[in-house]
Structure 1
Amino acid sequence: MNSTKMMDEICSMLDTYKGRDKVIRTFCYTSRLIAGLTSNKDLERKLMSVSKHLSATRTTLRLMDDIPAIKSTLQYGLGKEENNFFMATLGVTTNTIDLIYIVIEKLGWLAEYGLISGVDQTKCGTLTSACWLASVYLTLIRTTKSLLQTRKIIEELKIQNEPQTNVFLQKLQAKERFQIITCIRLSLDIVHAVSTLPKGFLWSSSLKTWQVGVVGTLSSVLGLYQIFAKKNL
């Protein structure tokens, strides 16, 4: 890829909400990673401040997610396009949890700035973490199921060994690699989501700053890679 095409690809990514969010997320957790590894207390303080502000930026931008999320949920409906009832149920449940997440996070944000009263910010934070964990976990199950289906089709095509199916087989193999990366990214997000919960559940509230930074950075980098890789599927 030449420099001009690469610049066009980067600009195209930054022109989208998802692209900008991935970039901000990457810088957010990279800052946290370096802060957790450095022995310079002043640099650690500055980098943690940067990470905090970048995280707040992502939260503010997510306030606009409600209408797109509602549209996506309505389009998905009861999952009639899914292959089976199990996948449809997972899809509907995930969409419902995502909508609940948006509402709770918005209430927490309004309470943080004193725009509403009677809302416990700590409880909102815990509930959003729980919703995030549940959503990512269900998405991982769906992706794993889809991956197994893709592999089954690939194996069947390999057994047939017909030249006319080679192009389709290559596309399926690219899809398989994409799904594997998605599973890895979602697994990292699960590790991160659990760590944001109050103590008492698995490794909740026990990861060190640099460990959170490593998990978040790896997940973010994989997410950035997938934005470009998805275009070739």
Structure 2
Amino acid sequence: MVPLHSSLDVRVRLCFKKKKKRIFQTLNPVGPGPGRGRCSSVLQNRRATLTASGFPQIRVLGYCCQLVGGVLVEQCPTRSEVGTRLLVVSTQLSHCRTILRLFDDLSMFVYTKQYGLGAQEEDAFVRWVSVLGNLADQLYYPCEHVAWAADARVLHVDSSRWWTLSTALWALSLLLGVARSLWMLLKLRQRLRSPTAPFTSPLPRGKRRAMEAQMQSEALSLLSNLADLANAVHWLPRGVLWAGRFPPWLVGLMGTISSILSMYQAARAGGQAEATTP
């Protein structure tokens, strides 16, 4: 029997073999990871483990290859061949993640259904921003699937329109995540700095620490979403802000920052979950 990972590599090469002139093309948009920037870190980590594309190592490796490869191609002419090979690896890893996301629709739907209209949220702004973000994420996946199928010549449609639509949905999801994180940081900061009313006790130390930890988590989510948003705008059609102006190394840098922050949050959430488990 052929190992599963080997057969997957063969399918990736057959479906996504590119011409040499497209070697320097930047990574395909990496879709909005389930729960990024909206739910808590614990829920985000749980949702990522339920999705087929929840392998952050592939994302980090792909963006790191693009970062190093882009720098070598532009700054080190003597090592441009090595840089070109790294860019090829980066592109193939991106295609691999695109295929893995073909299996994420159901898990995303399950989470969206469980969250519903966010009745458990106390803040109305957070609730509706999260609902809209879930809707954008849910629509993102089928749009990307159609674009992938068009590139693979499974469907006879214009793939560029579907890539643009999927990227726009991803950018919308990230923008909503940024708005949510900023709002949460503002509210938490106000609660921590608000003077204690007469005849009321100050916040317990444990609750204050929990709020400070939540602020750190929201700040990391904000930075991660901003880095991804910079790349999302870059992949939109030219004429939209800075679309198409990023060199490969800058795309790799933004993606690497976002990926490392996401991995750190997942590891941190996992450690906190283990610490609280009896």
The TM-score with structure 1 as length reference comes to 0.86
Secondary structure at the aligned position of 2:142 is classed as: helix
Cα distance in 2 for residues equivalent to 1:145 and 1:82: 14
2:204 to 153, 159, 165: 165
Structure 2 vs 1, CA of residues 43 and 95 (structure 1 numbering), >3 Å: closer, same or farther? same
2:71 to 30, 34, 37: 37
Contact 1:178 1:229 in 2 (8 A): no
Partner of 1:174: 213
Contact 1:147 1:179 in 2 (8 A): yes
Partner of 2:105: 66
Q: Deviations over 1:134-155 (max 9, x none)?
A: 0100111112212222222222
2:192 to 141, 154, 160: 154
Aligned CA RMSD, in angstroms, stands at 2.4
| Between structures 1 and 2, the one with greater helix share | 1
> Is residue 248 of structure 2 the alignment partner of residue 209 of structure 1?
yes
1:40-55 maps to which residues of 2 (within 5 A)? 40-55=79-94
Structure 2: any 5+ residue segments left out of the alignment? 1-44, 274-278
Deviation at 1:72, TM superposition (A): 1.2
1:83-98 maps to which residues of 2 (within 5 A)? 83-98=122-137
Contact 1:157 1:169 in 2 (8 A): no
Q: Deviations over 1:180-228 (max 9, x none)?
A: 1111111111111101111101110001111111111111111111111
Q: How many residue pairs align between the two structures?
A: 219
Cα distance in 1 for residues equivalent to 2:201 and 2:267: 30
1:106-121 maps to which residues of 2 (within 5 A)? 106-117=145-156, 119-121=157-159
Structure 1: any 5+ residue segments left out of the alignment? 1-11
Cα distance in 1 for residues equivalent to 2:71 and 2:50: 30
Deviation at 1:17, TM superposition (A): 5.8
1:129 to 146, 163, 167: 167
The TM-score with structure 2 as length reference comes to 0.73
